[in-house]
Amino acid sequence: MLALPGGSVASAFLPTLARRQLPWSSIHLFWVDERAVAVTATASNVGLARRIAAGTPMQAALWHAAAASPAVLDTAALAYGRSLAAVAGEPPVVDVVLLGVGEDGHVASIFPNSTRGTDGAIVAAVHDAPKDPPHRISFTLSTICAARHVVVAAFGSSKHAAVLDALTNPGSGLPLAAVLRGTPAPRSLLLLDEEAAGRLHRPPTSP
Ligand code: 6PG
pLDDT tens per residue, range 141-187: 999 999 999 999 999 999 999 999 999 999 999 999 999 999 999 99
| DSSP letter assigned to residue 170 | T
**Region of residue 32 (left: phi > 0; alpha: psi -120 to 50; beta: else):** alpha
> What pTM was computed for the model?
0.94
Å from CA of 89 to ligand 1 middle: 26
Give dist(CA 50, CA 70) in Å, integer: 22
Å from CA of 38 to ligand 1 middle: 18
**Whole-number pLDDT of residue 114:** 78
Å from CA of 177 to ligand 1 middle: 16
| Among 169, 171, 159, 153, residue whose Cα is nearest residue 198 | 159
Q: Which residue's CA lies nearest to atom 2 of ligand 1?
A: 6
Give dist(CA 41, CA 46) in Å, integer: 10
Residue 152, CB half-sphere, CA atoms under 13 Å: how many?
32
Q: Which ligand 1 atom is at minimum distance from the Cα of 5?
A: 9
Ligand 1 and 175: CB distance under 6 A: no
Ligand 1 and 108: CB distance under 6 A: yes
Q: Classify strands 149-154 and 62-63 as parallel, antiparallel or unpaired.
A: unpaired
Q: Which residue's CA lies nearest to atom 15 of ligand 1?
A: 8
| DSSP letter assigned to residue 109 | T
Amino acid at 106: H
Task: Quote the mean pLDDT of the chain.
Answer: 94
Q: Which residue's CA lies nearest to atom 13 of ligand 1?
A: 7
Note the helical H segments in the chain. Answer: 7-19, 45-53, 73-88, 141-145, 160-168, 175-182, 194-197
Residues 24-40: pLDDT tens digits?
Answer: 999 999 999 999 998 88
Amino acid at 195: E
Å from CA of 206 to ligand 1 middle: 36
Residues 94-151: pLDDT tens digits?
Answer: 999 999 999 999 999 999 987 655 568 999 999 999 999 999 999 999 999 999 999 9
